[in-house]
Structure 1
Amino acid sequence: MNLRVFVPLAALFLLGLSPSPSKEDTAPRKPRARELGITFGGQAGPLDAITDVPGVEVGQTTLVSGEGKLRVGKGPVRTGVTAVLPRGRARLAESVFAATYALNGNGEMTGTHWVNESGLLAGPLMLTNTNSVGVVRDAVVSWGVQHGAAWELALPVVAETYDGLLNDIDGFHVKAEHAVRAIDGARGGPVAEGNVGGGTGMICHGFKGGIGTASRRLPVSLGGYTLGVLVQCNYGSRSRFSVEGVPVGEEIKDLLPCHTGNEAPSSAFTKDLKPCAQRAEVTPRAVSEGLGSIIVLVATDAPLLPHQLGRIARRVPLAIGKMGGLGEDSSGDIFLAFSTQPAKPPAGSRVAEVGFLDNEHLNPLFEATVQATQEAILNALLAAETQTGADGVRVFALPHDRLTEALRKYGRLPPVR
């Protein structure tokens, strides 16, 4: 099988490989939310990404191959792995304070029992598809064994969303080496968004979704802290999709998923989709409302204790609700927040001296969480490209021009002069 594996270019050079340009590498970058004038309030960091939080690194492996009819075990393949390293690869086994929260638990994030019990997180945060949680989890454990961190990485955090509408998910195409490449290729700096890593085959509000990120930097008068968010966006109905209070889903009722094949798709979730050729005559049926999930990771350098990070994680649903999510029954909406402040006792001591922000000063971080999460979701949608996957199922990208037209209609953007 001709399987294309996309990893960060820097990682390829470190591995001694010469990357050949792909369509994804050579295509011009699409404007992000801020470049379209959509800010959701607040001041972004220089990269407007989770990597604005000092020390945080992100690596991604993207798997794309095949087209046409679904043949389990052969493809088409539209999936991958995303790794977020709270303290970077050099300090991967060093714990950070962390906490989790689930709005709706129809999903998986391994290792959360120990995170919430101890208030500590060690190792990378891994994102992939539903059926690949096990192999990615085992890969992280194996990485820990090989790097002298078997104890610290024994209970890794691996989260998932379901990409089986576009991807041969039952073919188990994610392998241990793909997870390892995401870890070893992790870097600071700009973060690729849209159809990349764990988000490669994801769908969000009936449009092509995927990986998105954003950040906020508080004014010096409020501590000057940085908070960053990364999402794997695969949730939500079209009809309730909203941006800055504008009912975008009602303004863009077309461009719903359809299929390009001669036969109806074989999946129970997509078998009723109409052919794309009939779009002018029949409005295609949307994928089941509420099907899917969203994983949200929140990072900050603010000195927060685990119970305070739990409060941060519990603000994430406010952003999802503003975008039109309900935490539907079939959705796994699971969130993790961590602080990069030092949490380890000095050598020879049993006592760690840590700081924590007074509760009365948490409100700006709550607001930053809501703002950055909304922007990260929209950035995922704006970066994603139209994708045709298994059984010819096609999911369309959110059109920038129609989004901004809707926002102008409701006075959220200034008119074109």
Structure 2
Amino acid sequence: MKVDKSSMSGPSTKPRARDLGLPFAGKTGPLNAITDVVGVEVGYATVISDPPGSSNRSARTGITAILPRGRSGPLRAPVWAGFHSLNGNGEMTGTHWIKEAGYFLGPIGITNTHSLGTVHQAMLQWMIEKPDTGFGAYSWMLPVVAETCDSYLNDMNAFHVTPGHVMQALNSASDGPLAEGSVGGGTGMICFEFKGGTGTSSRVIEQLGESYTIGCLVQANFGIRPLLKVLGVPVGEHLTGDRLWVREQGSIIVVVATNAPLMPTQLERIARRAGLGIGRTGTPSGDGSGDLCLAFSTANLTKSESAAAPAMGDLAFIPNNKLDTLFEATAQSVEEAIINAMVAAEPMVGRENRRVAAIDHDALKQVMYNYGRLSA
């Protein structure tokens, strides 16, 4: 029997990294999530099913939707953006235009590799059908949709994610606390050979007399166990059970949001610093990994006269020599979001009865204590 679980934005009962006492640096927003950036909304559709008599057709997948300006916001208003590929064995649509023009319109979708096309088309349909968008019959749109591969636990060739799931994620998006771990696009993902998935975090920084928020959401599906580091501690050298493979594989998608006024070139620099946050967890970004990072700013709201281009106007931005605090906040929040994804995830059995263990919280805390990074 098929079960479609909608893990919508809402308080999660699962512990997070800070709940274990892990001393991550930096001041977080009230939710410690990408939704601390005002206006940003996130929705999930989680698809879990086991068709009778066929263990290799199991569904352990879903879709995560991020709305930079929310469902009630101006859909035609662009957000300035920057993109960086730490390693390009993956896909994120719309990035050629982002690198060319420095902005995009509409939501972001994150799913599994073989469902990218379904999500792309369904997001187009969602935007076209919204009554107040006025895109017109022949206006073009380039949705941003990214993927990581969940084929170890999920039968990607069965195309379990449907347009209905995409609509569900978009229409359920909210600005509240977010569930993490095995939800949305992260449902079937694996991180450092532990169960991985969706994670989020945020930082609040002060710059030029103003307070700004940096928030991120990751779909963590990368890494090999011996390289895992948590706050610099070589955790993977000690938690050696339940190994899955001998070489790095998988990918990670990082979406960074901020309300700080930044130019597209500066947002590309922010996206590159997301790669530093990934690297802090120990990965060298292997050949088979699609490590793709997108950063956008909700500042400089432009009400475009055309869906094709922002109207001419003034652009406020923080000077380049004042960006260091934003760079550090980005790396901090991405690192913590990845660990949050693993801490929140639970063991999962998927297609062909394959099992992926979750990281053991007590064992993790013991290693951190042994290295002096956690109090007794």
- When normalised by structure 2's length, the TM-score is 0.93
Deviation at 1:317, TM superposition (A): 1.5
Work out whether residues 49 and 228 of structure 1, in 8 Å CA contact, stay in contact via their aligned partners in 2. Answer: yes
Deviation at 1:207, TM superposition (A): 0.1
| Corresponding residue for residue 124 of structure 1 | 107
Deviation at 1:5, TM superposition (A): 1.5
Q: Does 1:383 align with 2:313?
A: no
Cα distance 1:152–1:248, how it changes in 2: closer, same or farther (>3 A)?
Answer: farther
Secondary structure at the counterpart of residue 215 of structure 1: strand
Superposed counterparts of 1:18-417, under 5 Å: 29-66=13-50, 75-91=57-73, 92-147=75-130, 148-149=134-135, 154-219=141-206, 223-256=210-243, 286-344=244-302, 350-414=311-375, 416=376
Out of 215-224 and 123-132, give the one that drifted further: 215-224
Deviation at 1:9, TM superposition (A): 5.9
Tell me the alpha carbon deviations over residues 66-107 of structure 1, each in whole angstroms, 9 at most, x when there is no partner: 1798566xx211000000000001223321000110011000
Out of 195-204 and 174-183, give the one that drifted further: 174-183
Deviation at 1:126, TM superposition (A): 0.3
Secondary structure at the counterpart of residue 64 of structure 2: strand
Q: How many residues align?
A: 368
Deviation at 1:146, TM superposition (A): 1.2
Deviation at 1:221, TM superposition (A): 6.2
Cα distance 1:222–1:162, how it changes in 2: closer, same or farther (>3 A)?
Answer: farther
Q: Kindly provide the amino acid, as one letter, of the partner of residue 33 in structure 1.
A: A
Question: Matches of 1:152 and 1:32 in 2, distance apart?
Answer: 43
Question: Matches of 2:96 and 2:107 in 1, distance apart?
Answer: 16
Deviation at 1:141, TM superposition (A): 1.1
Deviation at 1:368, TM superposition (A): 0.2
Cα distance 1:179–1:129, how it changes in 2: closer, same or farther (>3 A)?
Answer: same
The RMSD of aligned alpha carbons is 2.2
Question: Matches of 1:303 and 1:133 in 2, distance apart?
Answer: 31
Deviation at 1:37, TM superposition (A): 2.0
Deviation at 1:408, TM superposition (A): 0.7
| Corresponding residue for residue 6 of structure 1 | 5
Work out whether residues 23 and 373 of structure 2, in 8 Å CA contact, stay in contact via their aligned partners in 1. Answer: no
Question: Matches of 1:369 and 1:255 in 2, distance apart?
Answer: 31
Question: Matches of 1:61 and 1:216 in 2, distance apart?
Answer: 26
Deviation at 1:222, TM superposition (A): 5.8
- When normalised by structure 1's length, the TM-score is 0.84
Work out whether residues 107 and 293 of structure 1, in 8 Å CA contact, stay in contact via their aligned partners in 2. Answer: yes
Q: Which runs of 4+ in 1 moved over 4 A?
A: 8-11, 67-72, 150-153, 345-350
Q: Which runs of 5+ in 2 are unaligned?
A: none
Q: Percentage identity across aligned positions?
A: 48
